[in-house]
Chain A
Amino acid sequence: MRILLVEDERKLSAVIKRGLKEVHYAVDSADNSDDALFLAETNPYDLIILDIMIPGKDGISICRNLRKKKNDTPVLMLTARDDVEDKISGLDAGADDYLTKPFSFPEFLARVRALLRRKNTEKSTSLKVADLELDQRTRKVSRAGKDIELTPTEYSLLEYLMINVGQVVTRTMISEHVWNEDFESFSNVINVYINYLKKKIDHEHKKQLIHSMRGVGYSLKDE
């Protein structure tokens, strides 16, 4: 996997690069818009990590530029600004995800993984992990052929976990995607909903699908 990191803060760029290399990704870095565009056009990257405030054109116009040229490499935006409008303009420009500085590194890695995986999966309306099935059209969930009744919140949570099957999703990712918000007190709420889900999905089965990853988040996987 090859990643382009566009970040003008030298030290931050260095630590991110080191962290990514640690988990065996190849990383190129650029610290201005010209280099970034040049690199993005010459090399086939699997992911571009883009800081919004960089010298030259800002990250948003770089992203727009790439999308105009039919470059659909996933883009993860990094920014120190956390206004909703900044977030919206970032996503409107074609970014796939958005992370505000300062971020937690495990959270960052989880998002990178999610984005890298997204590129390689086909979209289907039916999700299947082991004997757990979820139909996105009818919103029906069953395990081993047996229907499971879920509340809308539980359904959204399970759907999100299943889309990211095998990956660690952080609490922040869950609260942003399932509840559409990022608020501290939510981590407890998420815990409880995960427990509800575990009860309904894993309770009567030998094989546990939902796993808690201490200090990071949760993962749904068939192991």
Chain B
Amino acid sequence: MKTRSIRFKTSVLYSSILCLILTCFSIYLYDTVRATLYEETKQDLKVKAGQIEVFLNAYASMSPQAYTYANSLMNKFLSASDENVHGKDIAPGKDIIDQLWAKDSRSLGLRNDYFRILSPRGRVRLRSENLTNEIEGGFNSQFPLHSDVIHFTDLRFNKDAFYGISYPFRFDDRNSFIIQLATPIASIQQILSKLVIFIVLGVAVILLMTIFMGSFFTRRILKPVSDVTLAANNISQTNLHMRIPQQKLDHEMEELIGSFNRMIERLERSFAHVNEFSSHVAHELKTPLAIIKSELELALIKENAKDDDKRVMKVALEEIDRLIKTVKDLLLLAKLEYKLSIFKMEKMDIIEFIKEIYQHSKVLADQKNIGLEMAIPDGPILIKGDAAHLRRIFFNIIHNSVKFTKAQGEIKIFAEVREEGILISIKDSGIGIPAADQPQIFEKFFHSRSVDQEDAGGSGLGLCLARAVARSHGGDIVFESELNKGSTFTVILPLIKL
């Protein structure tokens, strides 16, 4: 797909807009899910901490001793010395509380959680069995030691992420006990990372589908455009009567095709006009010229004319001939531009053709004692061309080369095949073209002032015609020239593509 095509641009536009929308939506989705999950964890932690508070206070209120038991439960995991001190006078009933706690803590699902309870003085009264020193260090640094409000925080031990609550509670009629509880949030992160993968993949798939479908639909919408282009390309000078079919189409396309067809119609009319015009000119100019020419020639054939009259008639005849040539060349030029059908394009071997040109040119060059060389690749090399008109190009160039090259000079014909086609060059060692004249040599009626008029002779249309013919073949003529050193004219003709 070309980057400057409407199809490409539309697809890019669709996809960028969709990409933007999807990104915003994804961020919003991710954020909401994340917030919801964290909120749930918070509630969970709050409930757990609240339950621990309820349990502890319940144990304490079971009996006067029970308070001690509860208290001792809190001391259960304290240092060995402490345990020894209290262990000796553990009152009966403590087992019951231990059992209760074991049951209740299980019901709270604390197995994966880490927690500890701090006394108002900041002493650790109870810790979960899994609480290592390292994690406790994290607790110390992340949680406030004294606080009257519930506090949440993110924690990180080793490489695992946790979410923690610091929960002040009442016990023993004192307010500032604190439960510090941390729960792993690996599952939340798993869910979130899965969500990210899902979103990224989803967005990618949707974007790909959009690009694909967008390009498909744009192509369908734009199909009339390529149809119009194809039809317009097929319409040339030879079939200007053709129109682009106007089937059921979108309104805009209908208008476009309509104006296209109207343009072709105008073109057809002006082509017809030019054709008719040149045919009229041909008739109106050629008939009187034919009459004058025939009269003069007939008069010259008769022997009884005076010498002086004969001279006048000969001059008149020469000028008439020149006029005729100019008219013919001009008409041909007009036809080359407006009536391509004058070409009879046929498949031909350009190498054989150049050899033939060389044979004939050799005759011209030999007469003037000019050396003619040829260096061309082996044939056959096929082009599509009108041999008669192509001959005109080469004879014109060679004729000029011979004319402007002095005796003992040299002319070379060589050819090479390049990407753009076959390049056939004619290089002479002639008088060259003055730099000032170079830009104009292909113009109509151009005569170089450096060449004396008598010698120039032609209509001044030769090169112009040659170039028009070359261009009608899809090629061109270019040249290089240096004064007093010579000129090289190169005819470029496209090859038949295999």
**Interface positions of A (Cβ within 8 A of B):** 9, 11-12, 15-16, 18-19, 22, 53, 80-85, 101-106, 108, 153, 180-181, 183-186, 188-189, 192-193
Contact = CB atoms under 8 A, between A and B. Distances in A.
Given A81-B279, A82-B328, A192-B367, 12 more contacts: A19-B298, A85-B341, A101-B286, A102-B286, A102-B289, A102-B324, A103-B294, A105-B297, A106-B297, A106-B301, A153-B359, A189-B364
Contacts of B297: 104-106
Interface of B: 279, 282-283, 286-287, 289-291, 293-295, 297-298, 301-302, 320, 324-325, 328, 335, 341-342, 344, 359-360, 363-364, 366-367, 388, 391-392, 395-396, 398-399
5 contacts: A15-B294, A101-B287, A105-B297, A189-B360, A189-B364
B286 A80 contact: yes
A80 B378 CA distance: 42
B298 A53 contact: no
Nearest to A78: B290
Contacts of B320: 102
Contact of A53 (B283, B342, B344): B283
A80 B295 contact: no
Name the residue in A12, A102, A105, A106 with the highest tally of chain B Cβ atoms < 10 Å from its Cβ: A102
B395 to A, nearest CB: 5
A190 to B, nearest CB: 9
Contacts of B289: 101-102
Contacts, number: 86
A102 B287 CA distance: 7
Name the residue in A12, A80, A153, A186 with the highest tally of chain B Cβ atoms < 10 Å from its Cβ: A80
Given A81-B282, A83-B335, A101 B290 contact: yes
A9 B328 CA distance: 20
Nearest to A53: B283
A16 to B, nearest CB: 7
B287 A18 contact: no
A84 B291 contact: no
Contacts of B363: 188-189, 192-193
B344 A80 contact: no
A9 B286 contact: no
A18 B328 CA distance: 27
A80 B298 contact: no
B294 A105 contact: yes
B127 to A, nearest CB: 111
A105 B300 CA distance: 10
Given A15-B298, A104-B297, A105-B297, A9 B291 contact: yes
Nearest to B457: A184
A16 B290 CA distance: 10
B298 A22 contact: yes
A16 B279 contact: no
